């Protein structure tokens, strides 16, 4: 679920670069919406409607007779004739006639995941291009945010970021960058002005 409201499907992708010679690991991360829709269809019309709403055929589907826990699953359905045949087969296997349809979450079958993986790869590439100024090892990147940006009304330190610390996971070198731009936090973010 999304980290703000906890109401929407959310996807986090990690790409890990391991350099055994330098004994480092650099991680690329991307977070974003997920397409993990599912539906228990009573008939073909409901299944067809769900497929359109789920972004089929760009997003491939998986089907199971009966429900989400049925072990008889068919994945990678990527065309309308294939979906119709798979639906008919699953409905024939189902005691109730119902068929559980879901978006195939495997990366090659899910363009939403593909996009998040692309963003994770970009993040990883940026980190690999950022070298430590002391030892030259890649992955010199943000490791910590420092709270304490003062409130514009009362001057009390807030939870807003006032500085970022970039560091090397190999030699431990750190550089603190003060926040550029905003010098004060909005009073709405102040625990004293807006408890």
**Tens-digit pLDDT string for the chain (195 aa):** 556 556 667 899 999 999 999 999 999 999 998 999 999 999 999 999 999 999 999 999 999 999 999 999 999 999 999 999 999 999 999 999 999 999 999 999 999 999 999 999 999 999 999 999 999 999 999 999 999 999 999 999 999 999 999 999 899 999 999 988 889 999 999 999 988
* Beta-carbon count within 10 A of 163 CB: 14
* Beta-carbon count within 10 A of 66 CB: 17
**Rounded CA gap, 41 and 54, in Å?**
13
- Within a domain: residue 170? yes
User: Domain of 66: which CATH number?
Assistant: 3.30.1490
**Do 104 and 154 reside in the same domain of the chain?**
no
**Do 53 and 94 reside in the same domain of the chain?**
yes
**Rounded CA gap, 119 and 34, in Å?**
14
- Within a domain: residue 171? yes
Q: What is the model's pTM?
A: 0.81
**Do 101 and 153 reside in the same domain of the chain?**
no
With contact defined as beta carbons under 8 Å apart, do 90 and 68 qualify?
no
**Rounded CA gap, 91 and 36, in Å?**
22
Domain C-terminal end among 74, 109, 144: 109
What residue numbers bound the domain in which 181 lies?
A: 130-195
Paired tokens of 142? 């943000």
């Amino acid at each position: 679920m999304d980290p703000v409201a906890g109401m929407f499907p959310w996807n986090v992708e990690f790409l890990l670069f391991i350099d055994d010679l330098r004994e480092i690991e650099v991680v690329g991360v991307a977070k974003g919406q997920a397409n993990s829709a599912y539906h228990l269809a009573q008939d073909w019309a409901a299944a067809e409607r769900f497929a359109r709403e789920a972004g089929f055929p760009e997003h491939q589907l998986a089907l199971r007779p009966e429900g989400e826990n049925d072990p008889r699953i068919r994945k990678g359905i990527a065309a309308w004739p294939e979906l119709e045949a798979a639906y008919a087969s699953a409905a024939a296997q189902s005691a109730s006639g119902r068929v559980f349809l879901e978006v195939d979450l495997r990366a090659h079958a899910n363009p939403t995941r593909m996009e998040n993986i692309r963003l994770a790869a970009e993040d990883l590439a940026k980190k690999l291009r950022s070298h430590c100024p002391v030892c030259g090892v890649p992955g010199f990147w943000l490791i910590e945010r420092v709270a304490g940006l003062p409130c514009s009304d009362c001057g009390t330190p807030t939870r807003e970021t006032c500085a970022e610390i970039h560091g090397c996971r190999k030699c431990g070198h750190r550089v603190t960058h003060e926040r550029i731009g905003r010098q004060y936090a909005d009073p709405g973010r102040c625990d004293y002005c807006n408890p």
